[in-house]
Amino acid sequence: MACTTSQTATTTATAARIGALILAGGQGQRMGGCNKGLQPLLGQPLVQHVAQALRPQVHSIAISANADLPEYQALGLPVWPDAPQWQGLGPLAGIASAAPQLPPDLDALLVVPCDTPLLPPQLAARLAQALFARPGLAAVSAATASGRHPSISLLRPALLLGLPQYLQAQQQGQGDLSLRHWLEPRGWQTVFFDDAQAFANLNDQQALQSLQQQLQSR
């Protein structure tokens, strides 16, 4: 369900301290085994495009990554690998491993994947406006005409407290470790954005090359 918000909520959201975590811990199987976040687009790694899009919107940025750590660290941002007990468990493992290292004064954590270089400039503000409009809301995600994008979500820090226990339970029961499955029962809403391309995932080399050609032709 899409959210509507008030002017009061906008003021509250503007004052909020938001941190961002770029999820780059995947295996890049659809990229031919290449580290997706380090693939070049217009001469810069994908993850750097994402960081540049987020930098004016948030107070801090970190990267969740499990391979090629020196290359990520060279970008000048904190790089946090998955904790040993969560290795191989996907994006939730990256979030759970990052949680203890987040600044203690954050009001919310924005998580985004490393292969979304066209994120809109009002992403954090619009998600925060929706999140802080309702005190009982734990998370909001972006949505477009193509559906919900749970990998692009703004989370309250309190939501992260139970994530280790959730991962352990799902791991023992071989349950669903997707972001969507975790968020659905936990006070989750979406905010609709018109520009679907801004949220497109570059899952393979063909998509990456296609976007590069589009950007070069502008």
Dist. CA 42–CA 65, nearest whole Å? 22
Q: Which two tokens stand for residue 178?
A: 């997707």
Q: Crossing angle of helices 7-15/123-131, nearest 10°?
A: 120
Q: Is 68 annotated as a binding residue?
A: no
**Integer Cα distance of 73 and 150 in angstroms:** 26
Query: Which ranges in 22-175 belong to alpha helices (H)?
Result: 46-54, 69-73, 91-98, 123-131, 157-160, 163-173
Are 199 and 144 a contacting pair, CB within 8 Å? yes
Q: Was 200 annotated as part of a binding site?
A: no
Is residue 82 part of an annotated ligand binding site?
yes
Residue 110 marked as a ligand binder: no
**Nearest alpha carbon to residue 10 among 120, 153, 127, 155:** 127
Is 115 annotated in some ligand binding site?
yes
Beta-carbon neighbour count of residue 27 at 10 Å?
Answer: 14
Question: Could you count the other beta carbons within 10 Å of the beta carbon of residue 70?
Answer: 7
How deeply is 185 buried, as exposed, middle or buried, from its count of CB atoms within 10 A (0-12, 13-18, 19+)?
exposed
Neighbour tally for 125: CB within 10 Å: 16
Q: Which residues are annotated as a binding site?
A: 23-25, 36, 82, 115
Annotated binding site for GTP: 23-25, 36, 82, 115
Known binding-site positions for Mg(2+):
115
